[in-house]
Amino acid sequence: MRPNPFHSPAIPGSVLLFSFVLLIGCGDALPDGSPASNPEPVTSPQEGEAPLDLGPVLAEIFGAHDARGTLLVRRLADGREWVHDPDRSEKALVPASTFKIANAAIALETRVVSSPDEVFPWDGMEREFAGWNQDHTLGTAMTASAVPVYQEVARRIGSDRMSEWLGRLEYGNGSIGGGIDQFWLTGELATSARDQVDFLERWHEGVLPLSPSTLEAVTAMLRQDGDTTCQLYAKTGWAFEAKLGWWVGWTACPDDSFVFALNLDIRDPSVDPGNRIRIGRAGLEALGALY
């Protein structure tokens, strides 16, 4: 097994009790400014105790936001899972910008991008999201979810190498139908919440056919700043035509790590993109997977 380049060292201290905090989304989400609707607070389990039965709690979180979707969380120490809407968690859907994780890794492995710091000059075309209208590296384009940069990356990789690498990574259904710069946005690539969790567990365990330097570089791009004890790594996705939102990633806590994948319907573009992270964080906090 390869060394794990992103394992967080243990942090002394006991796990604190907490209540849900529903937070406004970030990344490629559109801020809506509307107040969050908070369900009744749920106290996290004490350290060493079995987590709560979260089925009703997760349903309450989704219901508080009138959201249709799924959340699957897996504790890596023992493989225990918690899921809202199990049927939907198995449904293969277009991954949208969550595919940037694999896309960046393939680019570095194939050396079509010389380093994580290579600059992609802005082409001067004004686009809807202001954060796209500037020069980017792989990392800043990951944070801004700058689609044009990663479309250029995919074109550099090319169809043959992309197909080969999707197979090697066992990513979703492995299809690049729909065009080399569209297959993960509007094309045939499809993956389920369970597939995403499986992929990220293999990533976390260092068993994918990727070099330690690639794992370390892309993991750094996914690191989310915050004041939590657990370190959060995550990526959003938004398939505009499919009206689908994603939030996937993992948390590294002092005593354990958890991988997760959430997807939901984007019915109201002014609210639902932010709900990806609001709902996801609330579920992770209830489980004790983020504190």
Name the residue type at position 161.
R
Q: Is 232 helix (H, G, I), strand (E, B) or coil?
A: strand
The pTM (predicted TM-score) of the whole model is 0.83
> Dihedral through CA 97, CA 98, CA 101, CA 103, nearest 10?
-50
Residues 6+ apart with CB under 8 A from 72: 81, 82, 83, 84, 89, 193, 194, 197, 260, 261, 262
Adjacent-strand bridge partners of 231: 252
DSSP code for 211? -
Residues 6+ apart with CB under 8 A from 159: 176, 180
Give the pLDDT means over successive 10-residue stretches in the chain (291 positions).
Answer: 43 35 35 34 38 77 97 97 96 98 98 98 96 98 98 98 98 98 98 98 98 98 96 98 98 97 97 98 96 97
Q: What gap in Å lies between CA 71 and CA 82, rounded to an integer?
A: 8
Residue 53: the pLDDT is: 60
Residue 21: the pLDDT is: 32
Q: What gap in Å lies between CA 192 and CA 1, rounded to an integer?
A: 26
Q: Is 86 helix (H, G, I), strand (E, B) or coil?
A: helix
Q: Could you tell me where the DSSP H helices lie in the chain?
A: 55-64, 86-89, 100-110, 138-144, 147-157, 159-169, 193-205, 212-222, 272-287
Q: What gap in Å lies between CA 44 and CA 273, rounded to an integer?
A: 26
74 Rama sector, left if φ>0, alpha if ψ -120 to 50, beta otherwise: beta
Show me where the domains of the chain are located: 55-287
Residue 126: the pLDDT is: 97
The owner of tokens 């082409």 is 123
55-287 CATH pick, 3.40.710.10, 3.30.200.190, 3.60.20.10, 1.10.10.10: 3.40.710.10
47, 255 contact by CB (below 8 A): yes
Residue 9: the pLDDT is: 40
Q: What gap in Å lies between CA 268 and CA 275, rounded to an integer?
A: 10
Q: 78: number of CA atoms within 13 Å, CB side?
A: 6
Q: Is 97 one of the annotated active-site residues of the chain?
A: yes
Catalytic residue among 89, 97, 145, 257: 97
